[in-house]
A and B are shown apart, each in its own frame.
Chain A
Amino acid sequence: MGQIKYQLPPEEVLAPGHFACPGCGATLTMRYALKALGRKTVVVIPACCWSVIDGPVPYSAAGVPVFHTAFETAASTACGVKAGLDAQGDHETTVLAFAGDGGTFDIGLQALSGAAERNEDFIYICYDNEAYMNTGIQRSSATPLGAWTTTTPTESPKAEKKKNIVEILAAHRIPYLATASVAYPDDMISKIRKAKDIRGFKFIHVFSPCPPGWKFEPEDSIKISRMAIESKVFPLIEIFHGTDYKLSKEPEGVPVRDYIKIQGRFRHLDEERIGIIQENVDEEWERLYSKCVPTTQAHHAGSGEFQGERRSSAALSIRETDSAKKKVQSARR
């Protein structure tokens, strides 16, 4: 893997006095999102860890206006904020819905689907820590296969696969959809900035490690995030208009076992079960990869560095640059 040079916007919008746990992926996500979007942003937060992290009344760490809303209403409330600002002639302010996986994959899915279908003009970031962490680590439909939570004890860990929220959103044919990771802030920031410049519904799915929920040391947050990508557990991609898939980073393809072994939530898994998880990850990866490239020839091409686009898929890049970028530009105000 090549050298990564970070060029993050220097301004810190998020104040340091927040209530997050050490090593919290959700907090890094907010920090980078606000670096990308700047101060002319309104954030809508449903029930989730961030209901606490931003601080109790009368404090707020975000540095931008925050409206706390009901669990299942991140998308619908954000849609209202955007409509209200528009109706008052403010077309500049970015509206950001910022929700956890429970509020996105589960209870908020209806409102999310509604906003996506209507192509409402705001950014929805889901920081996915793969369970209901704020209530004390209960399983959500984002919890991965085999994981322990307080409602999926080690004797009967989660028996179902993680819900594929990306495919659900892609099926809505929204103009921009991306996955991002706190391990690669420059990639995340460039994606959020791209989202800001696109009119319509934008969804960013962020892999958001949770030390107390996943049972690992806070200093390993970034390491685990990187391993999720390298093991193909959490591929970094972009999807334009729900159809044009682009891989942001070629994974090294490390065994899922390495990713699993450093987290307490998977400690109960024997080799057989890890094998099943590996098969599942491979299967999902193949399915995704086949959408990212027109042919499978260059299956292992790419050095693993950020490439902007896949070198091996010229056809795809032409589509991306000529067609999608035009759409992006024409959508710009």
Chain B
Amino acid sequence: MEGRNGMNTTNSGLLHPSIEKVVVMEGTHAASYAVKLARVQVIAAYPITPQTSVVEKLSEIVSDGELDAKFIKVESEHSAMACCIGSSISGARAFTATSSQGLALMHELLHWAAGSRLPIVMVNVNRAMAPPWSIYVDHNDSLSQRDTGWLQFYAESNQEVTDTVLQAYKIAETVSLPVMINLDAFVLSHTSEPVAIPKQELVDEFLPARKASFKVDTSDPRAFGALIGPEAYMEMRYKLYQAMEDARSVIREVDRDFANMFGRSYGGLVEEYMAEDAETVLITSATAVSTARIAVDELRSMGFPVGLMKIRTFRPFPVDEIRALAKHVRKIGVMDRNVSFGATGIIYQETKAVLYNAPDRPAVFGFIAGLGGRDITPETINEIFSYLMNHEEPVSEAVWVGLKTAGADRPEPPFPENSAAMKRSDGV
């Protein structure tokens, strides 16, 4: 049984038997405790708001002897990722955490980690890119790392952060690719929620010690990452591409295994909410999904057939899931907490792209909201649904929601002022 935060209880109200204890903690600490449970061997990190409390808590955990790991307090995020790469190629399980500018600084080495096929796991606290300086949430930092070969997860709750870190190591070590787990700055990173901490012995069973299929080994000396000519580079890239394709089924499988052992599931690449019989579905990601659930509940209670699809993994992109959704909905709205200048919201682009060659192509609308930490409230979501119901076809590629600048594309006024215009599209 899942509650709002993914907390699972039995019908009698008792906790799932896999749970050691339930602790109220912020999102960053939900990551730290998962790193401990995953028995990470090397941590390398550099402070940046609002990631810092991930590694502060880990420093405590390591110095208290609760986790037997090497903790390297490096002099930059760039070195943090290089340390993770070095320790991962030696066969160890490695972790780092960062945010925004720190992630951007790592960019070159994100390619290096994926190209080296190293199962590093990193938590990125999504924070807007400067300038101007902002410490608040949007997703341009991680989405700018789209083509580096990292799997990208976006978490909705603190429980999902903990659980996804555990799943991430299993996925990463299966497909030999690094995984980035993203959580929204402050909205999740510094918001306290109850988190079920699973029993260590069950985590050990779910996630045994890493067995590297290749590493720097003096008894079998090999060179990694040396020069390669045009005769073989492309094949190595194809293997990486294929590993990311394989990751789709691995993610679903690992989520199922996780559910069997711990009683919590996140649906794999996406999670749907009231989407089964919906005519209009909003696609979005991260904490905005929780807000959208409330808006959907309200609209449903008013009789509007609306639903949600949560993008849990941006890489690999949930192609099959979106195509399946397109079979039975009339309109899809995509709310992006990011923008690609010169194009549109990024998830909007990708959603349209996967539908172009699909037989079922509902109208797809793109919305941009919540940049630089601007609140996404149920009213924001209502505005978007209102717009969707009042338009048969998109008139703009990027509708900026809640924008104060005059002259921009803006949606209709929100409910309830606009409720008269909110006619069911089927005329009911």
The chain A residues found within 8 Å of chain B, CB to CB, are: 39-42, 44, 51-52, 54-57, 59-60, 62-70, 72-73, 75-88, 93, 110-111, 113-114, 117-118, 120
Contacts and interface: CB of A to CB of B under 8 A. Distances in A.
A77 B83 contact: yes
26 contacts: A42-B90, A51-B227, A54-B226, A56-B228, A56-B229, A59-B223, A69-B225, A70-B82, A70-B112, A73-B82, A73-B112, A75-B79, A79-B86, A80-B72, A80-B83, A80-B89, A80-B90, A80-B94, A84-B41, A84-B94, A87-B41, A87-B68, A111-B75, A111-B78, A114-B79, A118-B73
Contacts of A57: 223, 226-228, 232
Interface of B: 41-42, 44, 68-70, 72-76, 78-79, 82-92, 94, 108-109, 112, 216-218, 220-229, 232
A137 B271 CA distance: 56
B235 to A, nearest CB: 11
**Which of A76, A77, A110 has the largest number of chain B CB atoms within 10 A?**
A76
B216 A81 contact: yes
A19 to B, nearest CB: 9
Given A110-B75, A118-B72, A76 B82 contact: yes
Contacts of B228: 56-57
A80 B85 CA distance: 7
Contacts of B44: 80, 83
Given A80-B42, A86-B70, A118-B72, A73 B78 contact: yes
Contacts, number: 165
Contacts of A114: 74-76, 79
Contact of B221 (A55, A56, A62): A62
B91 A88 contact: yes
Nearest to A66: B223
Interface centre among A40, A68, A79 (most CB of B within 10 A): A79
A75 B74 CA distance: 11
A209 B216 CA distance: 30
B223 A83 contact: no
A72 B74 CA distance: 14
B86 A67 contact: yes
A314 to B, nearest CB: 40
A81 to B, nearest CB: 4
Contacts of B84: 80
A83 B89 contact: no
A84 B74 contact: no
Contacts of B224: 65-68
Given A78-B86, A114-B75, A64 B221 contact: yes
B108 A70 contact: yes
Given A87-B70, A113-B75, A80 B216 contact: no
Given A65-B221, A83-B83, A56 B73 contact: no
Contacts of A69: 82, 85-86, 112, 225
A284 B224 CA distance: 41
Which of A73, A84, A113: most chain B Cβ within 10 A?
A84
A39 B86 contact: no
Contacts of B229: 56
A282 B313 CA distance: 63
Contact of B82 (A42, A80, A93): A80
Identify which of A42, A68, A77, A83 gathers the most chain B CB atoms within 10 Å of its CB: A83
Contacts of B222: 60, 65-66
* 9 smallest beta-carbon distances between A and B, as pairs: A80-B86, A84-B87, A84-B90, A114-B75, A60-B223, A76-B82, A84-B92, A80-B83, A76-B79
Given A70-B108, A77-B86, A81-B87, A87 B69 contact: yes
A82 B222 CA distance: 17
A40 B82 CA distance: 22
A39 B227 contact: no
A54 B229 CA distance: 15
Contacts of A60: 221-223, 226
Name the residue in A41, A54, A55, A86 with the highest tally of chain B Cβ atoms < 10 Å from its Cβ. A86
With a 10 A CB-CB cut-off, give which of B78, B223, B224 has the most chain A CB atoms.
B223
A55 B74 CA distance: 31
Nearest to B225: A68
A48 to B, nearest CB: 12
A44 B86 contact: yes
Nearest to B41: A87
A65 B83 contact: no
Contacts of B73: 118
Given A56-B228, A60-B226, A64-B221, 9 more contacts: A39-B218, A42-B216, A57-B226, A66-B216, A67-B216, A69-B86, A79-B83, A111-B75, A117-B75
A271 to B, nearest CB: 44
Contacts of A88: 41, 90-92
A40 B44 CA distance: 25
B168 to A, nearest CB: 19
B89 A81 contact: yes
A93 B227 contact: no
Q: Of A51, A59, A73, which is in contact with the most chain B CB atoms at under 10 Å from its CB? A: A73
A83 B112 contact: no
Contacts of A93: 218
A84 B75 contact: no
B226 A51 contact: yes
Contacts of A86: 70
Q: Most chain-A CB neighbours within 10 Å: which of B73, B88, B216, B225?
A: B216
B226 to A, nearest CB: 5
Contact of B72 (A40, A73, A83): A83
Contacts of B108: 70
A113 B76 CA distance: 11
A43 B87 CA distance: 13
Contacts of A72: 78
Residue among A51, A52, A68, A117 with most chain B CB within 10 A? A68
Given A67-B216, A88-B91, A79 B221 contact: no
Contacts of A70: 82, 108-109, 112
Contacts of B217: 65
A64 B218 CA distance: 6
Contact of A111 (B68, B79, B91, B223): B79
Contacts of A118: 72-73
B66 to A, nearest CB: 15
Contacts of B86: 44, 67, 69, 76-84
Contacts of B68: 87
A65 B219 CA distance: 9
Nearest to B46: A114
A70 B94 CA distance: 18
Given A69-B82, A70-B112, A111-B75, A83 B226 contact: no
A111 B92 contact: no
A85 B42 CA distance: 10
B98 to A, nearest CB: 14
